[in-house]
Amino acid sequence: MSNNLIVSRFGGFVPYIQPSRLPDLHSLYQQPRRLPRSIRNDPTAMHLLDLLGPLAWDHFPERNLQRNYGQSSTPFAALAAACLVKLELGFGAYAHLAGWLAG
């Protein structure tokens, strides 16, 4: 789907987070007061939350992430989110998105 390393950044941090302790993106979209103030005050972050938040990510189809594809498996949801953000922000390549995310 993509040979660019930016896609793996979206899903690479997931194993280090305890999902039971963090709300999902859809819940944060429905209850934005639970977001940190720095996120609530950032127009770009809130715009991207409006873009990605309404989607039912917990129902997103997934491939077998345990299978060895020769490199780390990236969840399809992470790839879809990267594609949507790239298109929304008008970046022509994942490299531009990577630079923007690296800040």
* The two three-digit tokens of residue 43, written as one number: 């127009």
Asked, for residue 1, whether it belongs to a domain, the answer is no
Dump pLDDT digits (tens) for 53-73. Answer: 999 888 888 777 777 767 777
The answer to whether 63 touches 32, Cβ cutoff 8 Å, is no
Asked, for residue 44, whether it belongs to a domain, the answer is yes
| pLDDT for residue 9 | 52
Asked, for residue 82, whether it belongs to a domain, the answer is yes
Q: Who wins on pLDDT, 11 or 87?
A: 87
Asked, for residue 95, whether it belongs to a domain, the answer is yes
Dump pLDDT digits (tens) for 22-53. Answer: 677 888 899 988 888 999 999 999 999 999 99
User: Which of these, 78, 90, 73, 89, lies nearest to 10 by C-alpha position?
Assistant: 78
Give the pLDDT mean for 11-22: 50
The answer to whether 98 touches 6, Cβ cutoff 8 Å, is yes
| pLDDT for residue 17 | 44
Number of domains in the chain: 1
Domain of residue 96: give its range. Answer: 6-102
| pLDDT for residue 54 | 93
